[in-house]
Structures are given as C-alpha cells and as structure tokens.
Amino acid sequence: QVQLLESGGGLVQTGDSLKLTCAASGRTFSRSTLAWFRHAPGKEREFVAGISPSGIKIAYGFSVKGRFTVTRDNEKKATYLKMSSLKPEDTAFYYCATTGTEDSDSIAPFSNDGAFPYWGQGTQVTVSA
C-alpha cells in the first residue's frame, strides 16, 4: 500500500518562492515514477512535473517550465517541488502522485493523471497579486 502526504503550501506574494514536500510510504517508492499535479477551481487538473525512479528523467508542464524544479530523495522516500517566481495563476491545490509500479528510467515521466493510481490529499498554494 502506498500513502502520500504533501506539505509546505501556504499564502505567498507574487514573485515569492515556496517548496512543497511529499512524504511517501510503500516498498516500491524508489522504483516508481512520481509526479506533481495541481487543480484550481473551475479548471482542469494540470500536470506540473514528473520525475523518473532514479531522477534521471524529468518533465515539466509548459506553464511552470523554468520556474519550478522537481527532485526526489529515495532514501527519505520524499519528493520535492521548488516553486520560484510564483504568479497568481499558480494558485491551486497541489497533489503528488505515484504509479506504485516498477517503472523504467529510460522514458520520460508520464504526464497523464490516469497513469497514477496513488495520490496524496493535496496542499493549497495561494499566490496574491
């Protein structure tokens, strides 16, 4: 069984930085793809970032590329999302997710939410203008 718990959300101002943490449990963590998604009211859930099991392959959503950085620490069973130059349009509930399966490091991380059966409860990020 895989469990995920996000933390680090909050209220910040435009241009600020924030770092989200997702702590995981489960035996397959180090062999599974991890991803961050976000969901804002009235919008579709959006892929933010994904990282392959060893961290060698990383993908970002178009709207955050160059501003957000995803990392993982397999020893600590955690993934991190460092968000910089935050904008009001980054306001959303942020979720981490994992496949829970043994995934290849040779392909880009999945960006479709249907590939991730395990999700955390999310953390709210609000960016004021």
3-state secondary structure the chain: CCEEEEECCEEEECCCCEEEEEEEECCCHHHCCEEEEEECCCCCCEEEEEECCCCCCEEECCCCCCCEEEEEECCCCEEEEEECCCCHHHCEEEEEEECCCCCCCCCCCCCCHHHCCEECCCEEEEEEC
Mean pLDDT (whole number) for 92-110: 92
Mode of pairing for the β-strands spanning 10-13 and 123-128: parallel
Question: CA–CA separation, 122 vs 28, rounded Å?
Answer: 21
* pLDDT > 70 in the chain, percent: 100
Cα 13 from Cα 44, distance rounded (Å)? 24
pLDDT in tens, 4-53: 999 999 999 999 999 999 999 888 889 999 999 999 999 999 999 999 99
Mean pLDDT, rounded, of the chain:
95
Q: Is the pLDDT of residue 70 over 90?
A: yes
